[in-house]
Amino acid sequence: MPSVYYIISSVSIGGAEKRFIELWGYLQENESGFDYYLIISEQLYKALERKPAICKMLQAYPDRIKTYHIDADHSVIAFQKKLYSFVCEHTSKDDILHFILSFPTYVFGLKHKKTIYSLTESSLKNVNIKGKVLYLLNALRAKMVDILDPAVYKKIRQYYFFKRSRICMTPGSFVDTTTFKPSDNYQKENWFVFLGRFFYVKQVIQLLNVLPDVCRQLDAGGHMYKFIFLGDGQLQPEMKKIILSPEFKGLPIEINWSNKPEEVLAKSKVFFSLQMRNNYPSKSLLEGVAAGNIPVVTDVGTTRMIAKPAFSYYVPENFSSNDIAGRLLDILALDETALQSKMKEAREFITNNFTIKTSATYYTDLYKKIS
């Protein structure tokens, strides 16, 4: 039976890592046409062990997982060479290699011909010129290319018109709506949640900095509420330093990490997705909306493919405290009937359009095509 290897080069959990590992687990149980394997870093494996549902999945298929350890201080070229060498030790030249996030672009004379590269960036503007060049080289060298964002997909197809038939667009992300669901009868607290990695594209620092003024406006309306930041990442130390400053004293703001964010999202009312350039198709945004949260999002890129006007509230990319407070006050002003109507419509939209089955069918078709 043909084998497919998912090769992930990162050391922490982001939306792409979570999506493909959940897909790998789903395919183990629901697709018999291929054998599916994971090649991931030891650091990523340890991070995944902190996620109960994913950990259970990993433990069910220990013989289908290979972990590597490569010094993070290596240059890009040295890292690619060492990782590809590890891949060659555990695969045959006829196996299908599906590279997530990165590709061994600087390794010449690849032994494997059946290669797929997934470009999961929401915008090419998220990286500098070196990053753009690397993405373009990855797309050029891979046999097939899988692109998540519609605008990036269009641009890559324009660049590489000679291989358009081998450049495909992902049918969005997916969410487990049996895990991410609202509390009984949509009984919600005035909790306003950010969930995701703490890094600059998410604009988490910008959100945190406007909260003292946002809180003053909410307090003036007599509201009880709480802001919750769930996640980790390189900006976490700066965030914790900010909330220790005098103007944050006594404000209802929490910065935590949870291995069961669904428990918070089931009770929360609002979900922030304030990324630069695009929020589509944010895994955490899907989870928040599936759990019945009203999304407050930056109105950028193809964000409205998830956050529809019927149940979403928009702010500019360079949002102010008045923008955030205004949208929250609009939501808090909704009567219970209107609020629940929006929440139910939001969840129904996610349930109807972002299923793992759709993604599984798309990827198995790619594997059959390249075999």
The string of pLDDT tens digits covering residues 12-52 is 999 999 999 999 999 999 999 999 999 999 999 999 999 88
∠ CA 284-287-292, nearest 5°, is: 130
- Give 263's contacts (C-beta < 8 A, 6+ positions apart): none
Band of pLDDT at residue 327, cut at 50, 70 and 90: very high
> What tokens appear for 164 in the block?
């358009």
Structure confidence by residue, pLDDT tens digits, 126-144: 999 999 999 999 999 999 9
Residues 75, 85: Cα–Cα separation, whole Å:
15
φ, ψ of residue 165 to 5 degrees: the values are: -70, -15
Report field, pTM of the whole predicted structure over 0.85: yes
Residue 232's nearest CA partner among 12, 54, 64, 71 is 12
Is pLDDT above 80 for 344? yes
Tell me the two tokens of residue 104: 């061994």
Length of the chain counted residue by residue: 371
Buried b / exposed e along 201-214 (16+ C-beta atoms within 10 A):
bbbbebbbebbbeb
Q: What does the mean pLDDT of the chain come to?
A: 96
Q: Which residues pair with 226 in a beta bridge?
A: 191
With cut-offs at 50, 70 and 90, classify the pLDDT of residue 335. very high
CA distances from residue 343 to 49, 182, 195, 266, 369 in whole angstroms, order as listed: 32, 9, 18, 11, 40
Task: Give the model's pLDDT for residue 73.
Answer: 83
Which CATH topology does 184-353 take?
Rossmann fold (3.40.50)
Task: State the Cα torsion 101-107-110-115 to the nearest 10°.
Answer: 10
The secondary structure of 314-359, three-state, reads EECCCCCHHHHHHHHHHHHCCCHHHHHHHHHHHHHHHHHHCCHHHH
pLDDT at 245: 97
Would you say residue 72 has pLDDT above 80? Answer: no
Banded model confidence at residue 278, pLDDT cuts 50, 70, 90 = very high
Which residues touch 318 (CB under 8 Å, ≥6 apart)? none
Fold held by 3-174+355-370: Rossmann fold (3.40.50)
Rounded-to-integer distance, Cα 62 and Cα 37, Å: 10
For residues 332 and 223, the answer to whether their CB atoms sit within 8 Å is yes
Integer CA distances (angstroms), 20 to 36, 151, 186, 291, 310, in order: 11, 21, 30, 21, 30
Please state the domain extents for the chain: 3-174+355-370, 184-353
The strands making up 144-147's β-sheet, listed across from edge to edge, are 65-68, 35-41, 3-8, 96-100, 115-119, 144-147, 167-169
In whole angstroms, give the CA distance from residue 37 to residue 66.
Answer: 8
pLDDT greater than 90 at residue 210: yes
Identical fold for domains 3-174+355-370 and 184-353, yes or no, is: yes
**Amino acid identity for residue 33 in this structure:** G
Question: Who's near 292: CB < 8 A, 6+ residues apart?
Answer: 181, 182, 183, 186, 188, 266, 343, 344, 346, 347
Measure the CA–CA gap between 111 and 101, rounded to whole angstroms.
Answer: 20
End-to-end Cα, the chain, rounded Å: 11
Distance, in Å, from the CA atom of 364 to the CA atom of 371, rounded to the nearest integer, reads: 10
Mean pLDDT, rounded, for 254-259: 94
C-alpha 316/C-alpha 324 separation (Å) is: 10
Do 195 and 219 contact (CB within 8 A), yes or no?
no
